[in-house]
Amino acid sequence: MEKVVSGIRPTGNLHLGNYFGAVKSFVEMQDKYNCMFFIADWHSLTTHPKPENIQQSARTILAEYLACGIDPKKAPIYVQSDVKETLELYLFLNMNIYLGELERVTTFKEKARKQPDNVNAGLLTYPTLMAADILQHRAAKVPVGKDQEQNMEMARKCARRFNHIYGVEFFPEPQNFYFNATALKVPGLDGSGKMGKSEGNCIYLRDDDKTITKKVMKAVTDMGPQEPNSPRPEVIENLFTFLKIASTKDTFDYFDEQWNNCTLRYGDLKKQIAKDLCAIVAPIREKIEAYSADTALLDNIAKEGAEVARASAQATLKEVRQIIGFR
């Protein structure tokens, strides 16, 4: 089976956007591909997290992955910092990439603009660390969103350049893996774009029913339909997207008809959305709480995942050293 690698930065709890946009698809992928998932705690250092938060954040993400259905027996899950070989490959790749190429990466320019007092070297070389995460396992595919496409091109450039410099065909060029119909873009509750932590418009997988209901009831709306069968504005279409995600087709059709005949009451719509979202989140939240309470289990799963990942990375690094000339 083709090898697939994907990581997530431990910068907070998973939300519905993460779940429907990626993690739910990861669960489906683990039976079709040779998958490996990791928690990118080194990547999070670009934002200078507090030391006490690093380990706890990694455990939080691990518990949430497991609660969503990722099976570590099928798809090993490891913490990035447990695989030291990544740093050696990161060093080698940095020697082959140029300053101008890194400075032109859009995500670097955006981060530098947003945090001018913290434009650190790790932020600049983020794409080569990401390339090391991928290439150490010689992965064929990597699940990505639009914001990571340029970093993926940098990973392919790292692979091509290594192969060219040393006259080998060692590293495959990892391809972007798109979920297509299996992944959904979950809108934010503030009526904007997509759900995201920095926008503060999320429903988290740890939220209780009361919190979810309160958030949904505050979702942005307008004055309501003014003419029969009129197109829905974006803020209202976002609510109907939640209906598609969480509710039955009959429920969606019922509220769609109410919109079209101008009898829709947003309060009723929001109550239905909240009820159906609570039904999705509740069993996941219960599993998260159970896994979170068993830190020994989480640490053991991470340890076993790291053993698999290190074996993969060590095999790659052994050959890389020989190709470069180190013994």
Q: Catalogue the active-site residues.
A: 111, 194, 197
Phi, psi (degrees; rounded to nearest 5) at 66: -65, -40
Instruction: Return the residue matching tokens 């209901």.
Output: 213
Question: CA-CA distance, 106 to 102, in Å (whole number)?
Answer: 9
What is the Cα–Cα distance from 216 to 269, expressed in whole angstroms?
10
Q: Which residues lie closer than 8 Å to 125 by C-beta, 6 or more apart?
A: 90, 94, 97, 102
Tokens linked to 216: 């949904």
What are the C-alpha distances in Å from 4 to residues 29, 240, 259, 281?
Answer: 9, 33, 43, 27
**Unique residue bearing structure tokens 């290190």:** 310
